[in-house]
Amino acid sequence: MGETRVRWREWGEEAFREAREQDKPILLSISATWCHWCHVMDRGIPGDPIHTGTYSDPEIAELINTYFIPIRVDTDRRPDINARYNMGGWPTTAFLTPDGEILTGATYIPPMQMRQVLLQVLQYYRSNRAEIQRRIQEIARRRQEAARPMARPGAQLSWTVPLHLIGLIARAYDPVYGGFGEAPKFPHPEASLLLLVEYVRGGRRDERLAEMVRRTLHGMAEGGMYDHVEGGWFRYSTTRDWSLPHFEKMLEDHARLIVVYLYAAEVLEDEGLREPAVKALDYVERTLYDPERGVFWGSQDADEEYYALSRRERAMRPPPAVDRTVYTNWNSQMALTLLIAADILEEDRLQETAIRNLDAVWEWTFDASTGALVHYVDIHGERADAKGVPPLLGDQVHYARAALAAFQRTGERRFLERALQLRPYLESALADREGGGFFDRPEDPRAIGALRIRQKPLEENAVAAEFYLTLHDLTGDREARAIAERALLAFEQDYVKYDFAAAPYGLAVYRAITEPVRIHVIGPLEDPTTRQLLAAAWRGDPFARVVIPMDPERDAPVIQAQGFSTDGLPVAYVCLGDRCLAPARTPEELAERIAALA
């Protein structure tokens, strides 16, 4: 972060012990490398009489250093802390008791206001101990209730969930500018994806669904949310009409948006949606990808002045800084997006980049001692586990899902084996065996403050469910399907609290209640025809099929048990339920079989 006069501590037992011993409240600052107003709070804006730098003000720094224990946390490196303490944005400025319970908080606080806030918090902390204790107990009770949604006995997944969510999305839709909700307006790509999936399922007849997606995606691509010089999307718009963005660019956002734009371009036959996606891919590969290491960096800093320049003017000054940290979950999301983009655009190099990335991320982040992936490794070699960050749910499930996608497209067994290697940690350290689903982090008797209560994140449980559902379809493992269903049923009532932002959950439920087309490709991987059939199997809709590569020697018992002939290999069988069509031996025949079942 920026250089300040505040003597920041790292989150950990040492800082909290110091607060307890000195009986001082804690000032928790949650910041980010890409966050413009975090930098302003640290250093100020040159020439601005109001935003002069809160933490670089000598008087404020002296107050903080004398009467508080200041702790600085990077939101990307500690999503578990951010999930529990964020006060509505970045920077987060939270005041805690020495035990880590929230007293009060805000986001950006300018210097003039900060002096008053510090004195008020200090006075409140010293004079209201009994009230603080009562509030802490109430907060802890509510947090405990909210942290553990549980599956109801006898509950079942049904079309009610995705259809209800589509109704919530439609209610939040902005018919003038597109998008969902009011300003500030975020992309919510999964909301558009859920609309697209339902549009396709309904035979492409409900034009209202298509129009919501079309207007939303064009609004984001044609307005200020998109960088029309270098490509790529900014994180969100502060205005309803997409005109004034926050200028940071995030790897995660591009992974989520690119695939929706490419899919929408195919489904809606709209080339105007393909172009920004392709340009965004170029931006990601040019700016966030390290071809030497095979990894993607996390983000690019917000710089309002830089992004206001023309192409020629930008070329004359250094670009905004890139956070050279490898985040396992975001890299895995981008790898999955590249695999799907390779199918849609028919560009083999994108698949090659995805495969190299998944190999590199496994090499960088897999910890054999835990059987899990660490959350991050930066360019200097600092690892999350060395900083006390346990293996988190999001990293395991995003990588496992991407690994299964890679296995389905290449037949390379190591990706299936890696996904299976992550299962023991998921099911022993993170699973809620009683209530269904997964916690965000493992049980830790040394956890501090709000980290003592584990949370079940809706979106990451949806990804976990998709992983287990795909694993069942690939291997026939019924336990995997049961785990997926219980993860989804844990939120069968609670998802409504998230309103239309529960779209990722709706997509996972849709996946669970819709039987996918299964394409069995049987043949030696070294045979070019086998690879051609694997590629052809993914032409078309990537969200309604499972491709099962089968080696005629290694998988012979399974092939025989399923009644597939091994004459005239390589061959592909297209099946839905118990029905399988005649074998296909060319990409053209396979396309015909898929179309017949679609």
Shortest CA distance to 358 belongs to which of 393, 402, 397?
Answer: 402
Contact 571, 548 (CB under 8 A): no
Question: 431-443: per-residue pLDDT in tens?
Answer: 999 999 999 999 9
CA distance 596 to 581: 9
* Long-range pairs for 197-205: beta carbons < 8 A, 24 or more residues apart: 197/507, 197/510, 197/543, 198/162, 198/163, 198/166, 198/510, 199/267, 200/267, 200/541, 200/544, 201/514, 204/267
Tell me: pLDDT of 154 over 90: no
User: Could you read off the pLDDT of 21-69 as tens digits, one per residue?
Assistant: 999 999 999 999 999 999 999 999 999 999 999 999 999 999 999 999 9
Both tokens assigned to 533: 């059939």
Q: What is the mean pLDDT of residues 136-151?
A: 79
- Of 487, 482, 449, nearest in space to 149 by CA: 487
% residues pLDDT > 70 (the chain)? 99
Task: Name residue 573's beta-bridge partners.
Answer: 520
Tokens of 190: 């999964």
DSSP string, 472-516: HHHH--HHHHHHHHHHHHTTTTGGGGGGGGGHHHHHHHHHHHSPP
Q: How confident is the model at residue 2 (pLDDT cuts 50, 70, 90)?
A: very low
pLDDT of 338-356, one tens digit each?
999 999 999 999 999 999 9
DSSP 387-418: GTPPPPHHHHHHHHHHHHHHHHHH--HHHHHH
Identity at 593, one-letter amino acid code: R
How far is 440 from 430, CA to CA, in rounded Å? Answer: 7
User: What's the pLDDT score for residue 332?
Assistant: 99
Nearest in space to 508 (alpha carbons), one of 481, 494, 488: 488
pLDDT digits (tens, 9 = 90+) for 177-211: 999 999 999 999 999 999 999 999 999 999 999 99
- Model confidence at 3, pLDDT cuts 50, 70, 90, reads low
3-class SS at 29? Answer: strand
Q: Is the dihedral of CA 519, 525, 527, 528 positive or negative?
A: positive
Q: What is the mean pLDDT of residues 520-540?
A: 97
pTM: 0.97
pLDDT score, position 537: 98
How big is the chain by its Cα radius of gyration, in Å? 25
Confidence tier at 242 by pLDDT (50, 70, 90) = very high
Q: Does domain 13-147 have CATH number 3.30.930.10?
A: no
Per-residue pLDDT band for 148 (boundaries 50, 70, 90) equals confident
What pLDDT, on the 0 to 100 scale, is given for residue 143?
Answer: 76
Task: Give the N- to C-terminal CA distance of the chain in Å, as an integer.
Answer: 52
- In the predicted model, what is the mean pLDDT of residues 564-583? 94
243 pLDDT tier (thresholds 50, 70, 90): very high
pLDDT of residue 137: 85
Average pLDDT (468-494) is 97
568-578 mean pLDDT: 95
Question: What DSSP assignment string belongs to 127-170?
Answer: H-HHHHHHHHHHHHHHHHHHH---PPTT----THHHHHHHHHHH
Eight-state DSSP code of residue 40: H
Q: In a 10 Å sphere around its CB, with 0-12 CB exposed, 13-18 middle and 19+ buried, how is residue 367 labelled?
A: middle
What rounded mean pLDDT belongs to the chain? 96
Whole-angstrom Cα distance, residue 110 to residue 3? 17
Taking residues 121-125, report their average pLDDT.
97
Identify the pLDDT of residue 1: 38
Q: Can you list the pairs that 585-591 forms with residues at least 24 positions away whose Cβ atoms lie under 8 Å?
A: 585/529, 586/532, 587/532, 587/533, 587/535, 587/536, 587/539, 590/519, 590/533, 590/536, 590/537, 591/536, 591/539, 591/540
pLDDT of residue 135: 86
pLDDT at res. 413: 97
Fold of 160-514: Glycosyltransferase (1.50.10)
Half-sphere exposure of 34 (CA within 13 A, CB side): 23
Asked whether residue 153 carries a pLDDT value surpassing 70, the answer given is: yes
Please name which of 434, 430, 408 lies closest in space to residue 419, comparing C-alpha atoms: 408
pLDDT value at residue 46: 92
Which residues face 518 on adjacent strands?
546, 575
pLDDT in tens, 384-426: 999 999 999 999 999 999 999 999 999 999 999 999 999 999 9
Q: Which helix (H) or strand (E) holds 222?
A: helix 207-222
Is the separation of the CB atoms in 206 and 199 below 8 Å?
yes
